[in-house]
Structures are given as C-alpha cells and as structure tokens.
Amino acid sequence: MLRRRGTPFVVALNKVDRVHRWTSKQFNPIRDSLGSQEEVTISDFDDRVRRTVGAFQMQGLNARLYFDKTLNIKEGDIPMVPTSAMTGEGIPDLLMLLIQFS
C-alpha cells in the first residue's frame, strides 16, 4: 500500500540487542553502539542486515541502513534503522529520521 501511493517510510530493525555478544548501551545512537561492539558481533550484525536486505530485494524493494552512503530515498530506497525496544538503542536515530521525513 505504501509503495503504490509513493509514501516514504522507514523500517525499524528491532531486537538489535539479540545479536550474538551484543553489549547494550541504553538509549545510544545505533552507530555509537555498533562502534563499541566486538568484531564477531559486528560480523553477525552485518550478516543479519544482508539477509534482511535480500528479503526486501525478493519483494522488489531496495532497503539500506539509514546511514549507508548509497541510500537514495528519492530513488525509492527504504531506510532501515537498527533498534532495540529493550535498551532504547537506535531510537534517537529513528526519531531523527522521522522528523526529517516530516
């Protein structure tokens, strides 16, 4: 429905705190939290993102992490914001993006 109407939207990739060996930092911007993770954790995160992007591609949609330099919302790319409802990580990023859209 959103695609048919040309409505821009954001995907919240919730449960980032479930990534293997994730060290939570309450209410942190997600890029700060990612930067403080171990290499194995970042690798697991990247793998999950790749699988999610692949699932979107199978539906004919281009999804990218909101901070990916190749993201082009005007061309129809869908920004994804990793979040954790439990720790609040990524919520500042999600709010920022929603404010930018409005």
pLDDT above 80: residue 1: no
Strands (E), the chain: 11-13, 63-65, 78-82
pLDDT above 80: residue 45: yes
Instruction: Check residue 96 and give its pLDDT.
Output: 94
Whether this prediction's pTM lies above 0.75 is answered by yes
State how far the alpha carbon of 13 is from the alpha carbons of 5, 64, 81, in Å.
23, 11, 6
- What structural domains and CATH numbers belong to the chain? 2-101 (3.40.50.300)
pLDDT above 80: residue 3: no
Residues 81 and 9: their CA atoms lie apart, in Å, by 11
Query: In the 8-state DSSP scheme, what is residue 45?
Result: H
- In this structure, what token pair is assigned to residue 26? 């309450």
Longest dimension (CA), the chain: 41
In one letter, which amino acid is 38?
E
- In this structure, what token pair is assigned to residue 81? 């914001």
Say what percent of the chain tops pLDDT 70.
100
pLDDT above 80: residue 7: no
